[in-house]
Structure 1
């Protein structure tokens, strides 16, 4: 591996919309020393993973593309998965991104090295990279979520998640059990129902569904897009603002009556059986959960070979699914349309920032970031589609573009300041989250009367941005340097009097540690006061010996009294002492004051 590959300036993780947008913006900014790591053997992210029958986008295709790379080959108002994947691959070719992409490179660990201000990033294949900057764009829809139903293992049939569709299984003439009625299920159930002998659809909670105004894009429209400059852009703007106008209802739920009327109207027109219609009518405000878009799901549920099951699932049996009413629904194939793990995307990741801070410890009270892109304690690390940067009414691609722009501006700010490290200030992140969570309190996501993936297990909304996408875009135009700590490695090295190994002793306890120390001569008492932090296995044991004197020794230096104070946010202890420092005075160039008599003699 070449040095440029092992030590890129920027490492981008993920080759979906987010990662590829970041790569393009880096190239536009004149940054060419970057690498994109992709765990699979193909780009595409969500649109590579999801290939189930009927898979498509519920955002109009003219909006679901990069603003700087319009797609003039869309065939429908709502694009299907193959078209979207084809568009993504064409963008890679048009922007010559292939030389930067490393396939089969699943990241298994991130560790920040404070001595170099670089990250150590390792892949499952054993490759190691040392980038200055990491941009993580894994996307929220890449880890299938399957509920832990009792008895899943004994099921004798074939079972798979919709994002891992098993095309080796021919569903023709089969009894199919579909668990879930979310965004994926409303697309594949109508397709499965066309050939399966029997389809049982297990619904836990009904969703509000709006009609999908899908149609082919006409040859005349395509010709006009090509011939008339700005026409396709005008279409895009019209779609954007039609979506943007809905944000008032999300922020003020009482205004959602218009959307809810449209959803009730579709249900009334397509479902004539009052009992089935009642089962499909949600008991929460529209927008509380993700609003679905479909014009063929309700008709599919009324086919003779399809049955909607609303009794809760008790267990998976060898023959199918037993519901809470005691009935067993026999099945040959079980398809989980149960969505994705979109809560804490780094819950099981090895991500260690400054002073040994793990992402699990940083987010022990829930995911939290600044503007959805930066997390205090993790310098030179940026997220795409991080906490509280999404919404329920707009194309995710629009948000991705805004974030990629913001990150490149942060990198430009580092270059301007000659910084090797950029980190959001803890106070800025804390105040940002205080404000947005206060604004979220009255929104439909928080107060609409449902449980959804917008809310974590504590009921806190870690997903949504409490405003319009335009307001988020404005916030990300220019970084506020007051909210970031920018520094260079050389500056910090000069600020640290001593960093390196040491030994703590307390009675018969001896602990090898790493210490980071500073100090100063205090004129009031004439003593040298030293202080800093200490890290290492066994420090907890030393701290617990509060009644036994504690000493610190560095190299061949003196054994000096020390005191351990409170643990810092990164899990390390603060250490301090007064008098003779544990490191040589010469190393810190301390000027020892002379007496008045000595001064007179010298004169």
Structure 2
């Protein structure tokens, strides 16, 4: 079942190039977090495989105009590497990527990563109890040493994320267009937008960020909207330098601020679970008020941009300048169905409009986790087969998958959030996965092996309970389609509760959830390993927080109605 050599706890070198204790696929936020967790526990025999040429994941891929995060920067960062020097409440893509580069440099992650290394396929070997991961080398120089190889590992971690593989729309004639076409996640900054006729297909979060930035450059811009979105005020401001200094030299102040914004984000989840809640009404009313204030006396446009579904069913957009952009003379909002794309432009209702550039702001293939990697578990069973039987992706706690031993996912099925920072979820997952890795490597150190696989009955039970809860949320409303769910309506992406709920769930590892085979399985048995969690929420109850929400609402109203009253922070 395993070789009789003791496991050498050392970094991978030339002679061990194709052997590792742990393989991590992806060098974004999840992969970096997992690697740092291993290093903090003195595990160095791992490798990160990254298909692109750098760290950052989605923040390296998405670099379109206006790209930024819709979570407060002080919360959208690792708890163990808090950045006191964010320049804005909502950080832009370049600043986030710079932060991630700094973290990677601090922990010397470059020593453990192989860039331009694309994973094509990975297979579990039942006899050896190891993963065999096939890698294709994309870098021209590196490929001269070998274009393909297979690396074996005792444990496999997927950190590829959900916003990974761009989704092109299924519109007839998409490939016929002779002008410039680019997906938002593959932005070509060498292309000059000045004076161009531009079409943006899609009106979600990405489009809401791109459109205000490129509209002033275009001779004319048309936004092709399929369904409208709820748009809430962003209220983004620069962070005053004295405040940044205070965050740096008085860490407890920064911790208190982070806890406060986490509390605020957590309480907004009530908008998803109860459409009559104070929060749902607040978001809905603020959206409508902002729309009418920024698009005055345009009832026909109001009708086009007002959703007929509840708040939270689709991702709530945060923007202060999307509606004003729709009011520009060189901008058109098109809500008609796109019939086809031609060599010159787009046809709607038999009328062709010619364009120089078509931007596809159409998101990602989110419900196909790990796409396009082919994964095969016990008895050669494929991941696609596993999930076809359940009509959609699922995993125990969003982390482990039946028939896939010694495997963990970060940002997997039903772990996405519509209200808070995904990094809060990722840190809990990395800690949980480390507990499994630790058990597997203890066996390896004894010259033995251990296979850890979630029990199908436990996966079934957990997901049944979770889906029952999700059915009562706005995510499940029939009036909207979203990247949260499959075409059949199964919600495969979003978590059914708050971040704190999830962190508590993963604060312990119940070994009774798993089928165990090999060294140590008898001792683990029905034991529970307590992992703990990083508590970042404040001691203030969420009911009390309602007062703070009201204060923020008043402050927001003042900011929008009388911005000249606010100090000019730099």
TM-score greater than 0.5 by the shorter chain: yes
Aligned partner of 1:322 in structure 2 is 347
Question: What is the CA–CA distance in structure 1 between the aligned matches of 2:90 and 2:315, rounded to whole Å?
Answer: 17
Aligned partner of 2:515 in structure 1 is 485
Query: Which of 75, 100, 103 does residue 88 from structure 1 map onto?
Result: 100
Q: Label 1:152 to 1:414 Cα distance change in 2 as closer, same or farther (>3 A).
A: closer
- Within 5 Å, give how 1:199-278 maps onto structure 2: 199-255=221-277, 256-272=280-296, 273-278=298-303
Distance apart, 1:416 and its partner CA: 6.2
Q: Label 1:491 to 1:308 Cα distance change in 2 as closer, same or farther (>3 A).
A: closer
- Residue 419 of structure 1 contacts residue 486 of structure 1 at CA under 8 Å; is this kept in 2? no
Aligned partner of 2:400 in structure 1 is 374
Question: What is the CA–CA distance in structure 1 between the aligned matches of 2:216 and 2:239, rounded to whole Å?
Answer: 26
Question: What is the CA–CA distance in structure 2 between the aligned matches of 1:268 and 1:73, rounded to whole Å?
Answer: 36
- Residue 38 of structure 1 contacts residue 101 of structure 1 at CA under 8 Å; is this kept in 2? yes
> Which shifted more, 220-229 or 176-185?
220-229
- Within 5 Å, give how 1:127-166 maps onto structure 2: 127-166=149-188
- Gapped runs of 5+ residues in structure 2? 1-12, 138-147, 523-570
Q: Label 1:361 to 1:338 Cα distance change in 2 as closer, same or farther (>3 A).
A: same
- Residue 414 of structure 1 contacts residue 486 of structure 1 at CA under 8 Å; is this kept in 2? no
Question: What is the CA–CA distance in structure 2 between the aligned matches of 1:24 and 1:429, rounded to whole Å?
Answer: 28
Distance apart, 1:95 and its partner CA: 1.0
Report the secondary structure of 2:516's partner residue. Answer: strand
- Residue 402 of structure 2 contacts residue 459 of structure 2 at CA under 8 Å; is this kept in 1? yes
Q: CA RMSD in A?
A: 1.6
Aligned partner of 2:460 in structure 1 is 430
CA offsets per residue over residues 393-428 of structure 1, 9 Å max, x none?
A: 110111111100111122234456775211111111
Aligned partner of 1:67 in structure 2 is 79
Aligned partner of 2:135 in structure 1 is 123
Higher-Rg member (1/2): 1
Q: Label 1:241 to 1:36 Cα distance change in 2 as closer, same or farther (>3 A).
A: same
Question: What is the CA–CA distance in structure 2 between the aligned matches of 1:414 and 1:166, rounded to whole Å?
Answer: 44
Aligned partner of 1:291 in structure 2 is 316
Question: What is the CA–CA distance in structure 1 between the aligned matches of 2:312 and 2:31, rounded to whole Å?
Answer: 28
Aligned partner of 2:7 in structure 1 is none
Question: What is the CA–CA distance in structure 2 between the aligned matches of 1:470 and 1:114, rounded to whole Å?
Answer: 37
Question: What is the CA–CA distance in structure 2 between the aligned matches of 1:73 and 1:267, rounded to whole Å?
Answer: 33
Kindly indicate whether residue 478 of structure 2 is the aligned counterpart of residue 452 of structure 1.
Answer: no
CA offsets per residue over residues 130-181 of structure 1, 9 Å max, x none?
A: 0100000101112111112111222221111111112222110110011111
Distance apart, 1:362 and its partner CA: 0.2
Query: Which of 287, 303, 308 does residue 333 from structure 2 map onto?
Result: 308
Report the secondary structure of 1:131's partner residue. Answer: strand
- Residue 161 of structure 1 contacts residue 336 of structure 1 at CA under 8 Å; is this kept in 2? yes
Aligned partner of 2:538 in structure 1 is none
Aligned partner of 1:556 in structure 2 is none
Question: What is the CA–CA distance in structure 2 between the aligned matches of 1:81 and 1:73, rounded to whole Å?
Answer: 15
Distance apart, 1:127 and its partner CA: 2.5
- Residue 406 of structure 2 contacts residue 436 of structure 2 at CA under 8 Å; is this kept in 1? no
Distance apart, 1:216 and its partner CA: 0.6
Kindly indicate whether residue 304 of structure 2 is the aligned counterpart of residue 279 of structure 1.
Answer: yes
Query: Which of 458, 469, 472 does residue 442 from structure 1 map onto?
Result: 472
Distance apart, 1:229 and its partner CA: 2.8
Q: Which has the higher contact order (CA 8 A, sep 6+)?
A: 2
- Residue 285 of structure 1 contacts residue 448 of structure 1 at CA under 8 Å; is this kept in 2? no
- Residue 369 of structure 2 contacts residue 413 of structure 2 at CA under 8 Å; is this kept in 1? no
Kindly indicate whether residue 505 of structure 2 is the aligned counterpart of residue 475 of structure 1.
Answer: yes
- Residue 287 of structure 1 contacts residue 448 of structure 1 at CA under 8 Å; is this kept in 2? no
- Residue 118 of structure 1 contacts residue 131 of structure 1 at CA under 8 Å; is this kept in 2? yes
Moved over 6 A (4+): 489-492
Aligned partner of 1:503 in structure 2 is none
Query: Which of 32, 35, 42 does residue 47 from structure 2 map onto?
Result: 35
Q: TM-score normalised to the size of structure 1?
A: 0.79
Question: What is the CA–CA distance in structure 1 between the aligned matches of 2:259 and 2:214, rounded to whole Å?
Answer: 36
Aligned partner of 2:451 in structure 1 is 421
Distance apart, 1:319 and its partner CA: 1.8
Query: Which of 179, 190, 196 does residue 212 from structure 2 map onto?
Result: 190
- Residue 406 of structure 1 contacts residue 478 of structure 1 at CA under 8 Å; is this kept in 2? yes
- Gapped runs of 5+ residues in structure 1? 493-603
Question: What is the CA–CA distance in structure 2 between the aligned matches of 1:9 and 1:84, rounded to whole Å?
Answer: 30
Count of residue pairs the alignment pairs up: 491
- Residue 397 of structure 2 contacts residue 462 of structure 2 at CA under 8 Å; is this kept in 1? yes
Question: What is the CA–CA distance in structure 1 between the aligned matches of 2:276 and 2:474, rounded to whole Å?
Answer: 9
Distance apart, 1:463 and its partner CA: 1.1
